[in-house]
């Protein structure tokens, strides 16, 4: 791995995105740390990246806004000269967990805009940028990673909008993988399980019970996932450990996806 590779990680100020940024820094990447509102957290993330010996910069931008996406990509290219890895990590949970029969359009529109439309058009922009770049020695122009969720295939009837949108992001991985494989750009999906972040902070007791209650809890590996668990999976992709895989799904979920008797 050369030290000059660069990554854009959306939503890297906190949680899973921060964990990804730190692991990529350990792999020698320079990181553009995107955030939408929490500049203090973004600076903390950058400081942690620097502690590993890595470097990068913070960049405000709302992935659901076209002008912000264009500015972000231009900014990364200005700062790093090229972009080798995009991680579509930024995402939001519903503000209110509502029964499927009461779920509102406003919530759906927000989830769609941030969790699916934003990543879709950001990926389109980044792919066009990568296509202009010379391939590396192995023919790679870039890699793209989408952070979906076990919710892409698991029903939760009090946040069905989130599940539906995450399923869309899973499909997005496949179509971009298909379109870009011939151009030296591999696209991957990482499906985290229950990870300890601000997003799950409000439902900690519920998941404590589900995960830790007994040896038949919802995950065979009986612990909460940590941002670093997801970061290490992204790092393996960033280090080109899967050159002959594209459109692949990586479950980073403590075995949640297993069907057990
Ligand atoms: P989190 O702790 O709530 O952090 C969310 C991050 O996304 C923050 O950096 C936030 O920036 C950023 N963000 C939110 N809206 C944005 C926007 N419109 N544009 C740009 N950045 C935006 O969430 P997390 O738990 O780390 O989740 C990260 C991803 O993993 C999400 O896609 C989530 O759906 C997925 N996921 C999470 C879990 C879990 O158990 N936590 C499980 C499966 C999948 P600010 O700091 O500026 O607000």
Give the pLDDT score at 4: 78
The model's pLDDT over 104-129, given as tens digits with 9 standing for 90+, comes to 999 999 999 999 999 999 999 999 99
**For residue 171, pLDDT beyond 80:** yes
Q: Considering only CA atoms, which residue is closest to atom 41 of ligand 1? A: 195
Q: Which of 153, 199, 208 to probe ligand 1 with, by most ligand atoms within 8 A of CB?
A: 199
How large is the average pLDDT for residues 139-166?
97
**For residue 3, pLDDT beyond 70:** no
Cα of 238 vs centre of ligand 1, distance in Å, is 20
**For residue 103, pLDDT beyond 70:** yes
* Residue 35 falls in the annotated catalytic set: no
Confidence class of residue 235 from pLDDT cuts 50, 70 and 90?
very high
**For residue 23, pLDDT beyond 50:** yes
156 C-beta neighbours (distance < 10 Å), count: 14
Give the CATH fold of the 6-249 domain: Rossmann fold (3.40.50)
Q: Where are the domains of the chain?
A: 6-249
Task: Measure the CA–CA gap between 47 and 188, rounded to whole angstroms.
Answer: 28
For 206, the token pair is: 């519920």
Give the pLDDT score at 196: 98
**For residue 81, pLDDT beyond 90:** yes
Give the pLDDT score at 213: 84
Q: Considering only CA atoms, which residue is closest to atom 19 of ligand 1? A: 62
Give the pLDDT score at 215: 81
Confidence class of residue 1 from pLDDT cuts 50, 70 and 90?
very low
Task: Measure the CA–CA gap between 2 and 226, rounded to whole angstroms.
Answer: 27
Give the pLDDT score at 93: 97
CB 81 within 8 A of CB 89: no
How large is the average pLDDT for residues 47-55?
96
**For residue 2, pLDDT beyond 80:** no
Task: Measure the CA–CA gap between 231 and 252, rounded to whole angstroms.
Answer: 10
Report the mean per-residue pLDDT for the chain.
96
Q: Which residue from 56, 113, 66 is spatially nearest to 90, judged by alpha carbons?
A: 113
Confidence class of residue 209 from pLDDT cuts 50, 70 and 90?
very high
Q: Which of 9, 11, 192 to probe ligand 1 with, by most ligand atoms within 8 A of CB?
A: 11
How large is the average pLDDT for residues 43-62?
97
CB of residue 91 inside a 6 A radius of ligand 1 = yes
Return the percentage of the chain with pLDDT > 70, whole number: 99
* Beta carbons within 8 Å of 20's beta carbon, 6+ residues apart: 9, 12, 87, 89, 147, 227, 230, 231, 234, 235
């Amino acid at each position: 791995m050369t030290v000059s590779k660069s990554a854009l990680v959306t939503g890297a100020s906190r949680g899973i995105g921060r964990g990804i940024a730190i692991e990529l820094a350990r792999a020698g990447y320079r990181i553009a740390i995107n955030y939408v509102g929490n500049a203090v957290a973004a600076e903390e993330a950058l400081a942690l990246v620097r502690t590993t010996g890595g470097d990068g910069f913070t960049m405000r931008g709302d992935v659901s806004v076209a002008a912000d996406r264009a500015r972000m990509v231009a900014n990364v290219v200005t700062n790093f000269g090229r972009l080798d890895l995009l991680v579509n990590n930024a995402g939001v949970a519903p503000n209110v967990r509502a029964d499927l029969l009461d779920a509102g359009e406003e919530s759906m529109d927000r989830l769609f805009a941030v969790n699916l439309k934003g990543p879709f058009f950001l990926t389109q922009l980044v792919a066009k940028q990568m296509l202009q770049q010379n391939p590396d020695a192995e023919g790679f122009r870039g890699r793209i990673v989408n952070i979906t969720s076990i919710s892409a295939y698991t029903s939760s009837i009090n946040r069905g909008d989130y599940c539906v949108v995450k399923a869309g992001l899973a499909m997005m991985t496949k179509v971009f993988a298909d379109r870009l494989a011939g151009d030296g750009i591999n696209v991957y999906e990482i499906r985290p399980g229950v990870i300890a972040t601000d997003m799950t902070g409000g439902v900690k007791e519920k998941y404590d019970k589900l995960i830790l209650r007994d040896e038949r809890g919802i995950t065979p590996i009986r612990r909460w996932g940590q941002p670093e668990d997801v970061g290490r999976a992204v790092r393996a992709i960033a280090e080109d450990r899967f050159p002959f895989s594209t459109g692949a799904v990586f479950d980073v979920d403590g075995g949640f996806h297993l069907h057990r008797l």
